[in-house]
Amino acid sequence: MAAGAARAAAPQADALLLGEGGNRARRFAAAYLGETASADPAAMEGGARPRLLGTALWLTDTSLRGEPALAGAWFPGPDANARARFEGRYRDLFQQPPPRIAAAAYDAAALAARALRSGTPIDVLTAQQSFYGADGPVRLLPNGQTLRGLAIYALSPTGDALPVEPASDPVGPGF
């Protein structure tokens, strides 16, 4: 699969989305890097190979650490600063880290409290603006969909997630 991707993507693609995590992502990236280098060594020296992209699950996938072929790969994730603030407040109150679902409950309760304080129905409140939730900016649409502003991270050579771009407001350009 990596050989086919290298042949198909190398000359014309800017990026290649890798919808895997863990050892499968590591193996694919290493094989892809090898195939791309052997298919066009000059392109590898110029850094012209397509950027590897991953999923939001990569943010907590420690098995990706140390794979040289994944260094520089980009992936989306919740705003780390917002999440750290939420986890700190949660830990102060309950003396334990929050379960992942706690962020959704926090967002729902915060939005309900905001609507009650202002006397504005939630659908009116969210129709024109986003709000800052436990994982960063959130926008609720009239059709029931949720838009989340996600940050962009890159894997460092050691596998740490380094911020590339902060989470953007889902009301702004690009949404």
Rounded average pLDDT over 52-81: 91
pLDDT exceeds 60 at position 174: no
pLDDT in tens, 110-158: 889 988 998 988 888 877 778 889 999 988 888 888 888 999 999 998 8
Higher local confidence (pLDDT), 134 or 50: 134
Res 10: pLDDT = 55
Top pLDDT among 30 and 92 is at: 92
Contact 85, 103 (CB under 8 A): no
- Choose the weakest-confidence range: 33-47, 90-104, 124-138: 33-47
What is the predicted pLDDT for the residue at 55? Answer: 94
pLDDT of residue 100: 85
According to DSSP, the residues that pair with 162 across neighbouring strands are: 154
CB atoms closer than 10 angstroms to residue 91: 12
What pLDDT shows up at residue 4?
64
Mean pLDDT value across residues 25-48: 71
Q: To the nearest whole number, what is the mean pLDDT of the chain?
A: 84
Q: What is the mean pLDDT of residues 10-37?
A: 83
**Predicted model pTM:** 0.77
Give kind and range of the element (H or E) at residue 112.
helix 102-118
Domain limits, the chain: 2-77, 80-147
- Please determine, for residue 173, whether its predicted confidence score (pLDDT) is greater than 50: no
Residue 7, pLDDT score: 58
Burial (CB < 10 A; 0-12, 13-18, 19+), residue 99, is exposed
Cα–Cα dist 64/84, whole Å: 22
Phi, psi (5° rounding) for residue 61?
-90, 90
Of 22 and 37, which is predicted with more confidence? 22
